């Protein structure tokens, strides 16, 4: 399953990308989810992120991601996190985070691919992951 989100932001790309940090992860956690952050190295290649999400305060599971690539050019900035240990039933996870320069400032682009290994279950999980 793959989806793409594009969010326009009226700020320069470098300024927006600099705010991709632990506090942003905490602020973007949905209200129906609790999140414990056990490790947040950053968003550079080789960095690791270990979290413990729980929906409605239950079903707490470990989730570990590794940043597998990062970069910058005249078009913007990006990094990719890939799941190393994901909560059940997710079997694979890849999330490309981009901040693309644009005339109005920039666009945050989230390119997410995930799989449970069973397409009907992917469809059920899509609203949760979205």
- Euclidean distance between CA atoms 53 and 73, whole angstroms: 33
- Euclidean distance between CA atoms 51 and 54, whole angstroms: 10
The DSSP element (H or E) to which 6 belongs, if any, is strand 2-9
Total Cβ atoms within 10 A of residue 80: 19
| pTM of the shown model | 0.91
pLDDT recorded at residue 127 = 86
pLDDT recorded at residue 88 = 87
pLDDT recorded at residue 106 = 98
**Chain segment 48-57, per-residue pLDDT in tens:** 999 999 877 7
What's the average model confidence in pLDDT over 9-30?
A: 93
- Euclidean distance between CA atoms 64 and 67, whole angstroms: 10
- Euclidean distance between CA atoms 31 and 9, whole angstroms: 22
**Chain segment 77-128, per-residue pLDDT in tens:** 999 999 999 988 999 999 999 999 999 999 999 999 999 999 999 999 898 8
Q: What share of the chain is helix, strand, coil (3-state, %, to 5)?
A: 15, 50, 30
* pLDDT class of 32 with cuts at 50, 70, 90: confident
């Amino acid at each position: 399953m793959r989806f793409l989100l594009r969010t326009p932001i009226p700020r320069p790309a470098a300024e927006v990308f600099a705010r991709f940090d632990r506090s942003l992860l905490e602020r973007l956690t949905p209200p129906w989810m609790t999140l414990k952050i056990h490790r947040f190295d950053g968003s550079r290649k080789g960095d690791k992120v270990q979290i413990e999400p729980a929906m409605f305060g239950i079903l707490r599971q470990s989730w570990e991601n590794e940043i597998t690539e990062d970069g910058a050019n005249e078009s913007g900035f990006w990094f990719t996190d890939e799941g190393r240990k994901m909560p059940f039933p997710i079997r694979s996870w890849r999330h490309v985070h981009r901040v693309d320069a644009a005339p109005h400032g920039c666009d945050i682009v989230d390119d997410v691919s995930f799989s449970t290994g069973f397409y009907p279950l992917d469809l059920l999980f899509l609203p949760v992951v979205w």
